[in-house]
């Protein structure tokens, strides 16, 4: 970073320069004074504006002026000293007043009759046709019936097809029981769905979310969630697969073995009740009992403790006592073994 690129050094220099020269500065001018980049100069001026030292005024480009000059009403004077372009003052345009429109009078043909005989004849014809005599004489028509326009009805479009998408919300509404698939899992799931009707709806979504309870069964299930990214504000859609895909061709997970191992460990470690606590001395007794006995290899089983957990605890105790070269800990599936190294 150059000599004036930091806030600690740059802010006092710029403040003193404005006070001594009674001018405002732009980003380019600040960068030249501090011998730094425009980005650092903009950062320093933004900080000074937030701290109430300067205020930005727009005159062709942005000029930063000390607040004391703003409060004294010397904005125009400081801008002129800074070389800011003059403001063009244009005369207000005369408002154009539109002339009132004169509507042309409708021409109505007046029927003029010279003899009383013709009037009586027209009256008789009007009575026979059940039309008022005045309307019959003037030749006017009856008003047409006005049809009331029905109000528009809004119908929600239901997505159809083998792969259906529905609105769900954003990423922040995804619960803790839903896991984000890894990239390999996502590619595997996409490759399975390619070719089915509605696959084009999934394009553009990079993240796939599946419930952990379904993954624990070794499946993806027929309902999962997709999003553009992992930001809490990213939009999420719920995907529903038709039974023709899910029931007859279930989506087996690539991590099925890992979930099976976790289920075994979880069933031993968490049994829906409070676990029995074991002190460090009890693990010490197990090790002492094995040392005192003459068998070179023994199998150990502890209630409500998995073999994985027991390997971790026993190795830690053996290391503390400095017996790594004499005793070896191993496990096979659910069984724990202690072996004396000869």
pLDDT tens sequence for the chain (342 residues):
445 567 788 888 888 888 888 888 888 888 888 888 888 888 888 888 888 888 888 887 888 988 888 888 888 888 888 888 876 666 677 777 777 777 766 665 555 545 455 445 544 554 444 445 444 444 444 555 566 666 666 555 566 678 888 888 888 888 888 888 888 888 888 888 888 888 888 888 989 999 888 887 777 888 899 998 888 888 899 998 887 777 655 666 666 666 666 665 555 544 444 455 667 788 888 888 888 877 888 887 777 777 788 888 888 888 888 888 888 888 877 778 888 886
Q: Are 79 and 73 in contact, with CB atoms under 8 Å apart?
A: no
Pair type for strands 61-66 and 163-170: unpaired
The full DSSP string for 274-309 is PPPP--HHHHHHHHHHHHHS--SEEEE--TT--HHH
Looking at the chain, the number of H-run helices and the number of E-run strands are 13, 10
What is the CA angle 298-303-306, rounded to 5?
A: 75
230: DSSP letter: S
Q: What is residue 218's three-state secondary structure?
A: coil
Residue 192: count of CB within 10 angstroms of its CB: 14
Query: Nearest CA to 288 among 331, 325, 319, 318?
Result: 318
pTM of the prediction?
Answer: 0.34
> How many C-alpha atoms does 229 have within 13 Å on its Cβ side?
4
Q: Is 204 left (phi over 0), alpha (psi -120 to 50) or beta?
A: left
Alpha-carbon distance of 159 to 36, in angstroms, equals 57
């Amino acid at each position: 970073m150059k000599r004036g690129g930091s806030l600690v050094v740059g802010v006092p220099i710029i403040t003193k320069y404005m006070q001594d020269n009674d001018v405002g500065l732009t980003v380019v001018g600040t960068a030249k004074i501090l011998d730094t980049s425009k980005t650092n100069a903009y950062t320093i001026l933004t900080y000074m504006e937030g701290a109430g030292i300067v205020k930005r005024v727009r005159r062709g480009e942005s000029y930063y002026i000390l607040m004391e000059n703003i409060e004294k009403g010397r904005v125009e004077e400081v801008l002129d000293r800074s070389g800011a372009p003059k403001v063009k003052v244009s005369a207000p345009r005369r408002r154009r007043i539109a002339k009132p429109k004169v509507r042309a009078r409708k021409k109505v043909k007046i029927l003029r009759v010279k003899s009383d005989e013709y009037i009586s004849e027209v009256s008789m014809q009007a009575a026979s046709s059940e039309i008022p005599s005045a309307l019959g004489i003037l030749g006017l028509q009856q008003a047409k019936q006005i049809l009331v326009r029905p109000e528009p009805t809004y119908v929600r479009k239901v997505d159809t097809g083998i792969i259906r998408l529905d609105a769900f919300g954003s990423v922040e509404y995804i619960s803790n029981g839903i896991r984000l698939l890894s990239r390999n899992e996502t590619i595997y799931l996409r490759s399975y769905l390619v070719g089915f009707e509605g696959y084009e709806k999934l394009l553009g979504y990079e993240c796939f979310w599946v419930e952990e309870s379904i993954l624990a069964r070794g499946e993806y299930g027929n309902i999962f969630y997709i999003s553009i990214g992992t930001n809490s504000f990213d939009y999420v859609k719920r995907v529903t697969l038709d039974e023709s895909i899910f029931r007859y061709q279930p989506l087996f997970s690539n991590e099925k073995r890992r979930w099976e191992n976790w289920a075994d460990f979880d069933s031993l470690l968490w049994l829906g009740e409070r676990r029995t606590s074991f002190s460090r001395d009890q693990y010490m007794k197990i090790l002492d009992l094995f040392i005192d006995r003459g068998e070179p290899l023994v199998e150990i089983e502890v209630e409500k403790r998995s073999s994985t957990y027991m390997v971790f605890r026993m190795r830690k105790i053996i290391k503390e006592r400095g017996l790594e070269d004499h005793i070896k800990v191993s496990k096979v599936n659910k069984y724990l073994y202690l072996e004396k190294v000869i």
